[in-house]
């Protein structure tokens, strides 16, 4: 029996970019083995060496996670769809209790200008005067002020949120301008928080803005989230994701999780409410993927418009939590893929074995966790370091016609931007089985956008027992984009 398997954008590099593949089997385990047999490159991503399904990959049959069914033994019926949802660098129905207490919102007073400005909300039964007062009284912290977080901030400021915290230590870069109209070329090199603070002042001067221009760390995370009614996680790396999750849990602050990857976005709500026993991020993804396995948005790109779509969803969830209106994504994961016109709502249960909120937790404070180690940010002691060469060294070797092999490990669509004519294109997911195309007698230099995926490529070939000399181009093609090689006839 053939079953459709939906492959998240994060894993499509291992299935020839296909979002849906067919596989045969009467159980989830058999279906996944058939997927691995048909797409050999995805096997090591789905399964550890001992055949265990990796913890950063969640598998759903229709809208139910297999952990709540029979695991890999879950039977497959005619018409079922299997969904592969890995972690990316993330309620019960019924009455949604507002986060803002009546005592605090009751002290809010509106001017005549406010009555006109928020008249659209006043007319809605889901908001009304009481709801708008709660919005004005709310204190919301946004972690990560990239294109996604900036969109959330501007929507919430437009809605009239009284206090917004902006948490990001980076400066505005040119790609930010492509992804959100809040950033302009005049803002280049300015702190992202300063740009959005100015934007908020132009939207609503009554909104108080606090800026936190430092990197998220175990030393500051819990202190920063404390005092806010709600945190919205728009960060772009696993270390920050787990830090925000854990800090919010220990501070008792609910938060909205929003993430992007290429053409896909995900949103959920973690309530941190023991009375309802709702899940946390560690319930959904007990551990992050291996180092460099899932590229960041800066390495793979984001579909323009996606930050606005997902940011709008995240802001909507925040307003629902603040006002107590509607049904939230608490206990649910919404996956949206606008390019393929698909969206899906998955149920997520609390994991009783969760390291943070389970019955026997091992994570007892933010300071007690080594997040660099947990998120695989340190090179293992027994792994030899990857040797790199600079762009200048590569120029010299090419101009001197030295024997070497160039391998471009980017995806096919990325090579339309900058490429070497003489480079062998081997996407990173195909390296292990195509190592025979390389000559171990000469140096092989690996190319990617930023010089990060090429490190993963070298380690992948080491695991596949390739013994030839391998080098990473330091800084990747970004560092070489202004170089013109005489024998390459320039960049294509």
pLDDT confidence band for 443 (50 / 70 / 90) = very high
Quick check: 148 pLDDT over 70?
yes
Q: Three-state SS for 159?
A: helix
Dist CA 458 CA 383 (whole Å): 11
Cβ neighbors of 145 (< 8 A, separation 6 or more) are 153, 166, 167, 168, 170, 192, 193, 196, 234
Concatenating the DSSP letter of every residue in 228-239 gives: -SEEEE--SSHH
Dist CA 118 CA 108 (whole Å): 14
φ, ψ (nearest 5 deg) of residue 466? -80, 130
Overall average pLDDT of the 205-215 stretch: 93
> Annotated catalytic, 375?
no
b/e burial code for range 464-490 (CB count within 10 A of at least 16 → b): eebeeebbbbbbbbbbbeebebeeeee
Instruction: State in words which class domain 138-374 has.
Output: alpha beta
Quick check: 486 pLDDT over 50?
no
| Better pLDDT: 185 or 216 | 216
Using a pLDDT cut of 90, give the percent of the chain over it: 32
pLDDT confidence band for 241 (50 / 70 / 90) = very high
pLDDT at 472: 92
Q: Nearest Cα to 255, choosing from 278, 237, 223? A: 278
For 78-87, the pLDDT digits (tens) are 889 988 887 7
Strand partners, 336: 265, 343
451 is written with which tokens? 């010089």
Quick check: 10 pLDDT over 90?
no
pLDDT at 341: 85
* Beta-sheet pairing, 470-473 with 388-389: parallel
Q: Report which secondary-structure segment, H or E, holds 473.
A: strand 470-473
Distance between start and end Cα atoms, the chain: 46
Cβ neighbors of 393 (< 8 A, separation 6 or more) are none
Dist CA 192 CA 176 (whole Å): 9
| Better pLDDT: 297 or 87 | 87
Q: Which of 64-73, 179-188, 455-464 has the lowest mean pLDDT?
A: 179-188
As a residue count, the chain comes to: 492
**Helices (DSSP H) in 440-482: which residue ranges?**
453-463, 476-479
pLDDT confidence band for 380 (50 / 70 / 90) = low
pLDDT at 379: 63
Quick check: 437 pLDDT over 70?
yes
Q: Report which secondary-structure segment, H or E, holds 32.
A: helix 28-38
pLDDT confidence band for 491 (50 / 70 / 90) = very low
Mean pLDDT of the residues in the chain: 84
For 81-107, the pLDDT digits (tens) are 988 887 765 333 345 788 888 889 888
Concatenating the DSSP letter of every residue in 396-408 gives: HHHHTT--EEEEE
Quick check: 485 pLDDT over 70?
no
pLDDT confidence band for 213 (50 / 70 / 90) = very high
- Using an 8 Å Cβ cutoff, are 135 and 225 in contact? no
Half-sphere exposure for 353 (CA within 13 Å, toward CB): 5
pLDDT at 88: 61
Overall average pLDDT of the 212-241 stretch: 93
Dist CA 83 CA 4 (whole Å): 9
pLDDT at 247: 94
For 385-421, the pLDDT digits (tens) are 788 989 889 889 988 989 999 999 887 777 766 667 7
For 315-358, the pLDDT digits (tens) are 999 999 999 988 899 989 999 999 888 888 998 888 888 999 88
For 118-136, the pLDDT digits (tens) are 888 877 878 888 889 999 9
Q: Nearest Cα to 148, choosing from 296, 327, 346, 328? A: 296
CATH domain 388-488 topology:
Oxidized Rhodanese; domain 1 (3.40.250)
pLDDT confidence band for 482 (50 / 70 / 90) = low
Catalytic residue among 297, 316, 354, 357: 297
Quick check: 139 pLDDT over 90?
yes
- Whole-number Cα distances in Å, 110 to 28, 113, 135: 56, 8, 12
Q: Nearest Cα to 300, choosing from 450, 195, 146? A: 450
Dist CA 258 CA 306 (whole Å): 12
458 is written with which tokens? 């070298």
Quick check: 174 pLDDT over 60?
yes
Greatest alpha-carbon span in the chain: 79
Quick check: 460 pLDDT over 70?
yes
- CATH architecture type of domain 2-86: Roll (3.10)
pLDDT confidence band for 490 (50 / 70 / 90) = very low
pLDDT confidence band for 176 (50 / 70 / 90) = low
Quick check: 20 pLDDT over 90?
no
Quick check: 489 pLDDT over 50?
no
Domain boundaries along the sequence of the chain = 2-86, 138-374, 388-488
Quick check: 140 pLDDT over 80?
yes
Overall average pLDDT of the 152-161 stretch: 94
Matching residue, tokens 């048909």: 38
pTM comes to 0.74
Q: Nearest Cα to 419, choosing from 404, 406, 436? A: 406
pLDDT at 469: 94
Concatenating the DSSP letter of every residue in 398-437 gives: HHTT--EEEEE-S-GGGGGTS--TTSEE--GGGTGGGGGG
pLDDT confidence band for 58 (50 / 70 / 90) = confident
b/e burial code for range 6-42 (CB count within 10 A of at least 16 → b): bbbbbbbbbbeeebebebebebbbbbbbbbbeebebb
């Amino acid at each position: 029996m053939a079953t459709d398997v939906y492959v998240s954008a994060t894993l499509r590099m291992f299935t020839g970019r296909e979002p849906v593949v067919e596989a045969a089997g009467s159980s989830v385990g058999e279906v996944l083995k058939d997927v691995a047999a048909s797409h050999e490159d995805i096997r090591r991503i789905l399964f550890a060496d001992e055949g265990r399904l990796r913890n950063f990959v969640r598998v759903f049959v229709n809208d139910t996670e297999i952990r709540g069914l029979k695991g890999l033994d879950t039977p497959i019926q005619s018409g079922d769809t299997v969904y592969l949802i890995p972690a990316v660098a993330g309620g019960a129905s019924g009455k949604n209790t507002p986060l803002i207490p009546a005592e605090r919102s009751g002290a809010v007073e509106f001017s005549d200008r406010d009555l006109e400005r928020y008249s659209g909300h006043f007319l809605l039964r889901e908001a009304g005067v009481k709801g708008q007062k709660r919005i004005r009284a709310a204190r919301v912290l946004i972690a990560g002020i990239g294109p996604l977080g900036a969109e959330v901030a501007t929507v919430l400021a437009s809605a009239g949120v009284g206090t917004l915290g902006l948490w990001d230590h980076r400066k505005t870069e040119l790609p930010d301008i492509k992804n959100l109209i809040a950033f302009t070329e005049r803002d280049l090199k300015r702190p992202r928080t300063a740009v959005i603070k100015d934007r908020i002042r132009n939207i609503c001067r009554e909104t108080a803005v606090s800026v936190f221009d430092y990197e998220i760390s175990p030393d500051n995370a819990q202190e920063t989230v404390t005092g806010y009614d709600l945190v919205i996680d728009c960060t772009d790396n696993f270390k920050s994701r787990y830090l925000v999750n854990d800090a919010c849990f220990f501070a008792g602050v609910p938060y909205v999780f929003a993430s992007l990857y290429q053409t896909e976005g995900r949103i959920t709500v973690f309530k941190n409410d023991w009375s309802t026993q709702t899940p946390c991020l560690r319930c959904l993804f007990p551990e992050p993927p291996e180092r460099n396995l899932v590229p960041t948005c800066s390495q793979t790109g984001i579909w323009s418009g996606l930050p606005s779509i997902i940011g709008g969803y995240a802001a909507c969830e925040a307003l629902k939590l603040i006002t107590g209106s509607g049904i939230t994504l608490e206990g649910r994961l919404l996956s949206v893929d606008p390019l393929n016109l698909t969206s899906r709502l998955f149920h997520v249960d609390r994991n009783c074995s969760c390291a943070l909120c389970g019955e026997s937790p091992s994570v007892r404070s933010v300071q007690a966790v080594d997040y660099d180690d947990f998120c695989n940010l340190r090179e293992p002691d027994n792994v030899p370091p990857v040797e790199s060469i600079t762009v200048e060294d590569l120029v010299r070797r090419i101009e001197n016609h030295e024997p070497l092999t160039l391998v471009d490990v980017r995806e096919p669509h990325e090579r339309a931007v900058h490429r070497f004519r003489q480079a062998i294109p081997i996407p990173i997911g195909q390296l292990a089985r195509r190592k025979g195309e390389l000559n171990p007698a000469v140096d092989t230099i690996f190319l990617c956008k930023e010089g990060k995926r090429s490190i993963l490529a070298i380690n992948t070939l080491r695991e596949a027992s390739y013994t030839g000399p391998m080098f990473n181009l330091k800084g990747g093609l970004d560092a070489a984009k202004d170089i013109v090689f005489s024998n390459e006839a320039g960049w294509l």
